[in-house]
Structure 1
Amino acid sequence: MITVQDVSKVYSLESGDFYALKNNNIHIQKGEFVAIMGPSGSGKSTLLQLLGGLDLPTSGEIIVDGVHLHELNEKELTHFRRTKLGFVFQNYQLLPMMTVGENIALSLSANNASKTEIKKTVQQLISDVNLEGKESQFPSQLSGGQQQRVAIARALAMKPKLILADEPTGNLDQKNGEDILKLLSKLNKEEQITIVMVTHDLQAAQVADRIITVRDGLIVEEGRKGGFKHETVANRMA
């Protein structure tokens, strides 16, 4: 599903080159739920942006669902993100002047779906995330947990094979955070959607099948349920 091969991301600063990521290799299978952890500035969010085609690596290659991202132009990258991926962010990124239903329908409208298809899909997604009766409300009328559910429904609108979630519980209290994690886990198990989630919360990461730890731009630790194994990038094979 996802292959990261010898990927580095370098930013040129006045003080010299800064390596946000250094020659990393990862392989994520279809249907996996992977959590990426690491301290602030470690490179975990940079990695997520590269997986989503929001940025391109300085060197190396990223392949998502058979698509070589470096071969796409900007128009093709936009189409790739709209049709293959669903994004969920810490701050929800809902449009405040649009209703719940309109926010969920954004990608469908952008891809010229019919009004009938949009209505049917929005109604189904609202039911899936337990927001019945909220379709005509605005984001400001919802709790943080409800807004994140809208964001997840929006991410699901184009039936993506992959969801990229950047600190999806970061702005939520414990109860709402747990509810969002249960929803993501359900989508992973029942719909076989691959999920890659950046989180600083070890408890949140426990819902994943695998935890990848990034420090100073390097993948230094990788674990599956039942224990961790320590690896250096130099001896790790994709």
Structure 2
Amino acid sequence: MISISNVSKVYSLESGDFYALKNNNINIEKGEFVAIMGPSGSGKSTLLQLLGGLDTPTSGKVTVDGVELNALNEKERTLFRRTKVGFVFQNYQLLPMMTVGENIALSLSANNTSQSEIKSTVQKLIVDVNLEGKEPQFPSQLSGGQQQRVAIARAIAMKPRLILADEPTGNLDQKNGIDILKLLSKLNKEEQITIVMVTHDLQAAQIADRIIVVQDGLIIDEENKGGYRNETVADRMA
């Protein structure tokens, strides 16, 4: 599903070249739930941006569902993001002037989906994320947990095979955070959607099939997620 081959990302700064990622290789299987962890500035968000076609590597290849992203032009990458990937962010990124229903329908409308199909899809998603009755409300009228549910519904409206979640529970209290993790897990298991989630929370990461630690631009791949509970790795995450 996802292949990262000898990928580096270099930023040219006045002080010299900064390697956000350094010659990384990893494969993520279709339907897998992967958590990416690491200290601030480690390169984990850069990695997520490359997987979503929001940025391109300086060297190496990023392939998602058979598509080599760095071979696409900007228009092609935009189409790829719109149809193949669902994004979920820490700060929700909902449009405040649009209702819940309109936010969820955003990608469908951009893809020239018929009004009847948009209506039926939005109604189904509202039920799926447990927001019945909230469709006409605006984001400011919702709790943080409810706003994140709207963001997830919007992310899956185009039936993507990949969800990229950047700290999806970062702004939520424990209860709402757990609810969001359960929803992501349900989508992963029932819909077989591949999920790659960046998180600082070791407990949140335990929901994943695999945990990848990124440190100083290097990926450390550990198959046994239980191993990340030990003090050595916890200290590495500090």
| TM-score range relative to shorter protein | over 0.9
Correspondence for 2:133: 133
- SS state of the match for residue 220, structure 1? strand
CA distance in 2, matches of 1:224, 1:122: 38
Correspondence for 2:56: 56
How is 1:146-165 mapped onto 2 (pairs within 5 angstroms)? 146-165=146-165
CA distance in 2, matches of 1:145, 1:68: 35
| AA matched with 1:61 | K
Correspondence for 1:75: 75
Displaced runs of 4 or more, over 3 A: 225-228
Structure 2 unaligned regions, length at least 5: 229-238
CA distance in 1, matches of 2:116, 2:178: 34
Percentage of pairs with the same residue? 85
CA distance in 2, matches of 1:83, 1:221: 29
Correspondence for 2:28: 28
| AA matched with 2:21 | L
- SS state of the match for residue 152, structure 2? helix
Correspondence for 1:205: 205
Cα drift, residue 226 of structure 1: 4.1
User: What's the RMSD between the two structures over aligned residues?
Assistant: 0.8
- SS state of the match for residue 40, structure 1? coil
CA distance in 2, matches of 1:140, 1:7: 40
Structure 1's 225 and 16: CA in aligned 2 closer, same or farther, altered over 3 A?
closer
CA distance in 2, matches of 1:189, 1:220: 25
Structure 1 unaligned regions, length at least 5: 229-238
Cα drift, residue 71 of structure 1: 1.2
Correspondence for 1:85: 85
Per-residue CA shift, 1:216-236, capped at 9, x if unaligned? 0001342334436xxxxxxxx
Cα drift, residue 70 of structure 1: 1.2
Aligned residues between the structures? 228
Correspondence for 2:236: none
- SS state of the match for residue 223, structure 2? strand
- SS state of the match for residue 137, structure 1? coil
- SS state of the match for residue 212, structure 1? strand
How is 1:209-220 mapped onto 2 (pairs within 5 angstroms)? 209-220=209-220
